[in-house]
Amino acid sequence: MLPIRGVAGRVDNSGPPTDQDAGAAPAHSDAGAVPAHSEAGAVPAPNGAAPPQPGQHNFVVAASRLPVDRTEGPDGEPEWRASPGGLVTALEPIMRAAGGAWIGWPGSPGDPPAPFDTNGMHLVSVGLSAAEVRDYYEGFCNATLWPLYHDVIVPPEFHREWWDAYVRVNRRYAEAVAAEAAEGATVWVHDYQLQLVPGMVRELRSDVRIGHFTHIPFPGYEIFAQLPWRKQIVRGLLGADLLGFQRQGDATNFLRASRRAAGLTTHGSYVWVPDTPVADDVGRRQRRTAQRNTGGRSVRAAAFPISIDTRGFGEIALRPEVQARAQEIREALGKPETVLLGVDRLDYTKGILHRLKAYGEVLNEGHLEPPGAVLVQVASPSRERVDHYKRLRDEVEGTVGRINGDFAEVGSPPVHYLHQSYPREEMAALYLAADVMLVTPLRDGMNLVAKEYVACRYDDTGALVLSEFTGAADELTGAFIVNPHDIDGLKEAIVRAATASPAEARRRMRSMRRRVLENDVAHWADTYLRALDQVPVHPSATPPPEDHVHEVPSANQAS
């Protein structure tokens, strides 16, 4: 059993976003790919593979990316250096105590590095060919699932060859997990890139305990239903024992998808997964009887809101050199009365254009006036080879140019736009320098930036404008909560945040700091892993109680 305990240590949630890279030689041939859309609702298993022998690791994490950076050694050969992100540092003590392994892609196509050990963790690379980076990563993950799960802000693309690559790459991860996990190990799979892995691991290794956590929203069924492979995704996730989501609404959406896309029965926060799948074409009563006559498992879907290393950020913010840097930033901006700040990956989900539109109108109407007010917008490069991201960059940069053209004086533009990534200390200095933090996503699983800002405001000053469509809005109720689509409401909130009395700002910030200090990333990991630990090792064969919900599955379940 996994040792569950308080997790200490420094956690860095703010590693520069690393999902934009790609571009070298293929490591894997695409030949021999499994025809993945051959059978409705089932992801085909590989033929004739011998069951894997248990590995040596009691705790195995599978995430899209490995916590490593590629660097160049003295002889020009690639070297891999550990780069601790939030997740890895939160899990590190557990990894060390349990003999943990981390499975992920190192971030560039081509031959993966050999497994290596760092900080008590065993890192195992999954290689992706250049074609798989295109079809699986940039394609199915970031041009199908990402927009679909973020309320179709841009239209998702559905391509069967992208789905094939998704199945193939998920299987590669699952096989790596099965090879590393010791008998009875705990496996924790992360996010939308690996939704088939729980089911595939269960097929290979029914002895392990499997958790999955979705970092992004899970969409309402009317949107999810667009996905031609909705049933396979639901079934893949249901290979887990515990499904974690950011918000209760996400868990509820998943429970509904289980009923509608897969015809399963739910009871409270549990989905009943019968051992023998019931055929799609039977009537409602027959389906109910058939499901009750077979053994099965109950899978729990619940909310576990992720957080940051609150104390780690607070410590950085207290460092004299970081405070001096914050002062320097304000001076470089021309010592304005009000510094507003946005920090986002350059992603259409983050509402950067809505924010700029509102800010431009606030200036135009004279509610705030440059050079007394200055907006700093950090837009970290992200997914730069995906079309919608290229277009977004052009639009954001055009809008910034227009606002500066309209309102700048020589030497004092009202928007400072930074298309760059910064070290964590510089991020903390920016958070310290900002009077008003603008977090206005159209949809966001959680949004860690909002929590990082709060963590750095050790003197209870500063104001947060926060979109109601972020997971963070459930917790940070001291923020000025906005609907970013309502430009007038957004303008009003920006002005109210910029002009709030010190007493009001303090009251709001204190309540937010309390929340972020109580629920930090270590608490999140602990809570999740405790809940996973409580799942019975031998699944119950008892059917669900009578108060379950059953819906007639959607007419067209097949892909």
State the Cα torsion 127-130-132-135 to the nearest 10°: 160
Q: Residue 224 in contact with residue 261, Cβ under 8 Å?
A: yes
Among the residues of 421-501, which ranges form H helices? 424-433, 448-456, 472-475, 487-499
Q: Residue 260 in contact with residue 225, Cβ under 8 Å?
A: yes
Please tell me the distance from the alpha carbon of residue 318 to that of residue 172, in angstroms, as a whole number.
44
Choices 105-113, 447-455, 457-465, 539-547 (CB under 6 A): range interacting with ligand GDG: 447-455
Tell the smallest beta-carbon distance from residue 450 to ligand GDG (Å).
Answer: 8
58 vs 440 by CB, closer to ligand GDG: 440
Q: Which DSSP symbol is given to 220? A: -
Q: Quick one: 47 exposed, middle or buried, by C-beta within 10 A (0-12, 13-18, 19+)? A: exposed
Choices 120-128, 443-451, 483-491, 527-535 (CB under 6 A): range interacting with ligand GDG: 443-451
200 vs 428 by CB, closer to ligand GDG: 428
218 vs 407 by CB, closer to ligand GDG: 218
- For 262-311, the DSSP string reads H--EEETTEEEEESSPPPTTS-HHHHHHHHHTS-EEEEEEEE------HH
Residues 6+ apart with CB under 8 A from 519: 305, 307, 475
Choices 9-17, 198-206, 392-400, 460-468 (CB under 6 A): range interacting with ligand GDG: 9-17
Tell the smallest beta-carbon distance from residue 96 to ligand GDG (Å).
Answer: 23
The answer to the question of residue 13 lying near ligand GDG (CB under 6 A) is: yes
> Between vectors from CA 523 to CA 520 and to CA 524, what angle results, nearest 5°?
85
Tell the smallest beta-carbon distance from residue 104 to ligand GDG (Å).
Answer: 15
Tell the smallest beta-carbon distance from residue 77 to ligand GDG (Å).
Answer: 27
The answer to the question of residue 16 lying near ligand GDG (CB under 6 A) is: yes
Element counts in the chain: helices (H) and strands (E)? 19, 19
Please tell me the distance from the alpha carbon of residue 482 to that of residue 465, in angstroms, as a whole number.
7
Choices 154-162, 287-295, 442-450, 517-525 (CB under 6 A): range interacting with ligand GDG: 442-450
Of residues 446, 464, 482, 509, which one binds ligand GDG by CB under 6 A? 446
Tell the smallest beta-carbon distance from residue 39 to ligand GDG (Å).
Answer: 32
Of residues 164, 250, 435, 452, which one binds ligand GDG by CB under 6 A? 452
261 vs 343 by CB, closer to ligand GDG: 343
Tell the smallest beta-carbon distance from residue 171 to ligand GDG (Å).
Answer: 24
Longest dimension (CA), the chain: 77
Of residues 126, 210, 234, 448, which one binds ligand GDG by CB under 6 A? 448
Of residues 2, 4, 11, 15, which one binds ligand GDG by CB under 6 A? 15
Catalytic residue among 57, 150, 215, 354: 215
Instruction: Enumerate residues 191-250 that contact ligand GDG by CB under 6 A.
Output: 215-216
For residue 457 the two structure tokens come to 């405001």
Tell the smallest beta-carbon distance from residue 350 to ligand GDG (Å).
Answer: 8
Catalytic residue among 250, 444, 520, 548: 444
Instruction: Enumerate residues 414-433 that contact ligand GDG by CB under 6 A.
Output: 421-424, 427
Backbone phi, psi, residue 223, to 5°: -85, -50
The helix or strand, by DSSP H or E, that contains position 340, with its residue range, turns out to be strand 338-345
Please tell me the distance from the alpha carbon of residue 392 to that of residue 398, in angstroms, as a whole number.
10
Choices 14-22, 95-103, 260-268, 365-373 (CB under 6 A): range interacting with ligand GDG: 14-22
Count of residues making up the chain: 559
Tell the smallest beta-carbon distance from residue 67 to ligand GDG (Å).
Answer: 14
291 vs 470 by CB, closer to ligand GDG: 470
SS (H, E, C) 173-210: HHHHHHHHEEEEEEEEEECHHHCCHHHHHHHHCCCCEE
The answer to the question of residue 17 lying near ligand GDG (CB under 6 A) is: yes
Q: How far is CA 87 from CA 7, 20, 173, 306, in A?
A: 12, 19, 18, 10
141 vs 363 by CB, closer to ligand GDG: 141
122 vs 515 by CB, closer to ligand GDG: 515
Instruction: Enumerate residues 340-379 that contact ligand GDG by CB under 6 A.
Output: 343, 345, 378
Identify residue 416 by its one-letter amino acid code.
Answer: H
265 vs 470 by CB, closer to ligand GDG: 470
Choices 10-18, 33-41, 296-304, 454-462 (CB under 6 A): range interacting with ligand GDG: 10-18
In our burial notation (b when 16+ CB lie closer than 10 A, e otherwise), range 255-293 reads: bbbbbbbbbbbbbebbbbbbeebbebeeeeeebbeebee
Of residues 142, 232, 380, 440, which one binds ligand GDG by CB under 6 A? 380
| Residue whose C-alpha is closest to residue 311's, from 507, 15, 86 | 86
Phi-psi region of 151 (alpha: psi -120 to 50; beta: other; left: phi over 0): left
Catalytic, 215? Answer: yes
Tell the smallest beta-carbon distance from residue 351 to ligand GDG (Å).
Answer: 12
Q: Which DSSP symbol is given to 444? A: B
Please tell me the distance from the alpha carbon of residue 231 to that of residue 262, in angstroms, as a whole number.
5
Q: Quick one: 243 exposed, middle or buried, by C-beta within 10 A (0-12, 13-18, 19+)? A: buried
Of residues 108, 447, 467, 519, which one binds ligand GDG by CB under 6 A? 447
User: Which residue is it, tokens 């031609």?
Assistant: 228
17 vs 334 by CB, closer to ligand GDG: 17
Tell the smallest beta-carbon distance from residue 87 to ligand GDG (Å).
Answer: 8
For residue 68 the two structure tokens come to 């490593």
16 vs 372 by CB, closer to ligand GDG: 16
Tell the smallest beta-carbon distance from residue 339 to ligand GDG (Å).
Answer: 17
Residues that contact ligand GDG, how many (by CB under 6 A): 24
The answer to the question of residue 306 lying near ligand GDG (CB under 6 A) is: yes
Binding site for ligand GDG (CB under 6 A): 13-17, 215-216, 306, 343, 345, 378, 380, 421-424, 427, 444-449, 452
Which residues are catalytically annotated? 215, 444
